[in-house]
Chains A and B, each alone.
Chain A
């Protein structure tokens, strides 16, 4: 554990402790927020009793579906767009402004089109993630060192062999950045649309608990979502750093 890491833990611990004290003293009333220790205890109870297992499985499997689609379609599209220069020029302004568009605004339209089921949610999560994968794949392909491609030509590698042995390995760290975004966006898209309008999933359960003033369910579920997404993100950041440092890029 480094010094900054230790300091960070202390800051987080201090913040949680401060909220705990404010809740216990009554500055934050229990109707607004129960003390963090209570939330952790409630979360433990929820995990042990398995009351929300179905919702958790639903959310995670939807997110996984959207993630797989976003990554496969994104990488395939990235490779194709990279090969077609004019198409890429035409699409550049689209990529540059894409993340300014509130994708969730399409959700009502998708509900009208596909009905209130899994499909609209998966499409939203897919739409959020796929462009990040495409953009980072393009970036990775741009940065394949020219000298490696020349070497491949000198060794008379076929196009396929070049792709497998040269292009793919050197583009991997950048593609991984896109994959990292796709994971985060899959969760954000699924939980966001569940929260806005849905009949199942963790996002729906949080919204349902809010509407029923059921803080004993709402806060533990919020904590669960935070823990899951932050740990996934930390693992991916760690993996990305390792890949980049092995290549001497960072």
Chain B
């Protein structure tokens, strides 16, 4: 528990330092290109009160949620099946690693041509980012399940599904969860990135639109919202993650 309090204090100092640096940068650069923290927060609240803003937020939220579901289910399915079969895992794992290292934005036009303009291309792009870490972590997690558990399952004559549900997933859960945490972040990055190109709706679209209008208020407010959401969710997931790892 002491570890948690230390990291809380660390986060507090970090946030304070971040706000301080932001304020100083603002005072140096001035109004033309930046807004102060206070201005950005008030503008973000005003934005949240505007009815015209909500459709964009909901669009991004919907695309993100759908992409996350696809990424997690696909990642778990690939990860568990490749983790249980050694040969298939050895063949496909390096391919997933290679896919992870390429700039996936370049694949976005292909998705746009396949799915058409609209929310399905964004969902596919978000899921494309997210499913790779989920599968890679799950492969390793399943491989590291202690053989004695699997042997026990075989002795009890468990079927394939029962084996996965009762033994593999519970035993591999902490590591799988680490994959889910990274998958969550990457899916969000993918969804917003997809909206920044060839989109008519969503937070990414608003960001790109604001560059054209040189609207610094909107840019800073939306960037702030995205960062608060991403950092907040990631910290919560990290906390659960550490608790799961400690339990084992």
Given contacts A100-B233, A230-B102, contact A105 B109 (CB under 8 A): no
Of listed B103, B112, B114, B184, residue having the most chain A CB within 10 A? B103
Interface flags, B197-237, vs A, CB<8A=1, else 0: 11000000001101100101001101100110011011100
Pair B107/A196 contact, Cβ less than 8 Å: no
- Is B248 part of the contact surface with A, judged by Cβ < 8 Å? no
Pair A8/B14 contact, Cβ less than 8 Å: no
Residue of B nearest to A206 (CB): B106
Pair A93/B184 contact, Cβ less than 8 Å: no
Task: Determine the interface band of chain B, counting residues with CB < 8 A from chain A.
Answer: 35 or more
Pair B94/A188 contact, Cβ less than 8 Å: no
Interface flags, A190-222, vs B, CB<8A=1, else 0: 011001110000010011011100000011011
> With the chains together, A90 CA to B90 CA distance in Å?
39
Which residue of B97, B231, B238 contacts A101 across the interface (Cβ within 8 Å)?
B231
Given contacts A4-B87, A7-B91, contact A234 B98 (CB under 8 A): yes
Of listed A105, A111, A233, residue having the most chain B CB within 10 A? A105
Of listed B198, B219, B220, residue having the most chain A CB within 10 A? B219
Q: Enumerate chain B residues within 8 angstroms of A104, measured Cβ to Cβ.
A: 189, 192-193, 196
Residue of A nearest to B191 (CB): A102
Pair B108/A195 contact, Cβ less than 8 Å: yes
> With the chains together, A32 CA to B115 CA distance in Å?
10
Q: Enumerate chain B residues within 8 angstroms of A164, measured Cβ to Cβ.
A: none
- Is A109 part of the contact surface with B, judged by Cβ < 8 Å? yes
- Is A48 part of the contact surface with B, judged by Cβ < 8 Å? no
Pair A108/B102 contact, Cβ less than 8 Å: no
Pair A108/B210 contact, Cβ less than 8 Å: yes
Which residue of A93, A195, A221 contacts B14 across the interface (Cβ within 8 Å)?
A93
Residue of B nearest to A233 (CB): B101
Pair A33/B219 contact, Cβ less than 8 Å: no
- Is B6 part of the contact surface with A, judged by Cβ < 8 Å? yes
> With the chains together, A31 CA to B193 CA distance in Å?
24
Pair B33/A33 contact, Cβ less than 8 Å: no
Interface flags, A1-38, vs B, CB<8A=1, else 0: 00010011001100000000000000000011100000
Q: List 24 A-B contacts (CB under 8 A).
A: A4-B91, A7-B87, A11-B91, A90-B9, A90-B14, A93-B10, A94-B14, A96-B238, A100-B231, A101-B226, A102-B226, A103-B189, A104-B189, A105-B192, A107-B196, A109-B220, A111-B211, A112-B211, A113-B33, A192-B105, A196-B105, A196-B208, A207-B109, A230-B101
- A: which residues have CB within 8 A of B? 4, 7-8, 11-12, 31-33, 89-94, 96-97, 99-109, 111-113, 184, 187-188, 191-192, 195-197, 203, 206-207, 209-211, 218-219, 221-222, 225-226, 229-230, 233-234, 237
Contacts A7-B87, A97-B235, A233-B101 supplied; 16 other A-B pairs, CB < 8 Å: A4-B91, A32-B113, A32-B114, A33-B113, A92-B7, A94-B14, A103-B189, A105-B226, A108-B211, A109-B216, A112-B211, A187-B103, A192-B103, A207-B197, A210-B109, A225-B102
